[in-house]
Amino acid sequence: MKRLAVYCGSASPEPRYLQLGRDVGRGLAERGIGVVYGGGRLGLMGAVADGALAAGGEVIGVIPHILVDTEVAHRGLTELHEVPGMHERKRMFTDLSDGFVTIPGGTGTMDELWEALSWAQLGYHAKPVGLLNAFGFYDRLIEFWEHMGRVGFVREQHRELLISDLTLDGLLDRMAAFEPATPITAMSVDDL
C-alpha cells in the first residue's frame, strides 16, 4: 500500500482524538505510506496532515471548491486538488489510494466509509476498507455491521469487507492481508 485515503472529522473534539489524528498521520508516513485526505487544516483532518508532514510524508488533499474557505484549506500539502463537489472528491480518493482508513468523525466520515464499502460490494474497487476503532469509538458501528450480516443485508461473502482493529499497526497488517471479495456484479442471479 503506497497511499491510503484517510477519512476523519474536520471537527476538533477532545484532545485525545486530535492526538490520534497526528499519530495516524505520523504512523503512515513512517511506514512510507502517503496520505490522501479531505484537504482541510482544521480538526482531525488537519491533525492527520500535520502528523504526516512532520514525519516527512506525502500528503495529498482533495477539497470541494465550496469548502476551501469553510474548512480553511491546508496550503502546506504535497498536493492540494480543488474539485467541483463531494462526488468528485470521493472518486479522487478512490483513484489516488490503495485503500481506505477511517478514524473517528461525523456524518461526512460515515458517508465516505459507507460509500467505500458499497463500491467494494459492487466491484468499483477491490481495495481494503479499514476502520480504526480507537477508544472503542466504532464499537456500535461494528456491531451494526455484524447485525446487517446476521439478518442478510450484507452478503456472507462481503462480511469481511469491513476490516477493523484497535491499533494502527494491527489495522495495517490486516489490510495488507486483504483478499478482495467477489463483487455483486460478478455474481449469478442465484447468488444474489
- 175: CB partners within 8 A, 6+ apart: 1, 99, 101, 128, 130, 163
SS3 144: helix
- Local confidence band at 192 (pLDDT 50, 70, 90 cut-offs): low
Torsions phi, psi of 64, nearest 5? Answer: -65, 150
Quick one: cell of 160?
Answer: 469481511
Query: Which CATH class, in words, describes the domain spanning 3-181?
Result: alpha beta
Q: Rounded to an integer, what distance in angstroms lies between the CA atom of residue 145 and that of residue 180? A: 18
User: Environment class of residue 80 by beta-carbon count within 10 Å: exposed (0-12), middle (13-18) or buried (19+)?
Assistant: middle
- Local confidence band at 169 (pLDDT 50, 70, 90 cut-offs): very high
Residue 125 has pLDDT above 90, yes or no: yes
- Local confidence band at 185 (pLDDT 50, 70, 90 cut-offs): confident
Percent of the chain with pLDDT over 90: 89
Torsions phi, psi of 164, nearest 5? Answer: -125, 155
- Local confidence band at 188 (pLDDT 50, 70, 90 cut-offs): confident
Q: Where are the domains of the chain?
A: 3-181
**pLDDT one-digit tens code per residue, 84-115:** 999 999 999 999 999 999 999 999 999 999 99
Rounded to two decimals, what is the model's pTM?
Answer: 0.94
65-69, 142-146, 147-151, 162-166 — which is least confidently predicted?
65-69
**pLDDT one-digit tens code per residue, 17-61:** 999 999 999 999 999 999 999 999 999 999 999 999 999 999 999
**pLDDT one-digit tens code per residue, 127-158:** 999 999 999 999 999 999 999 999 999 998 99
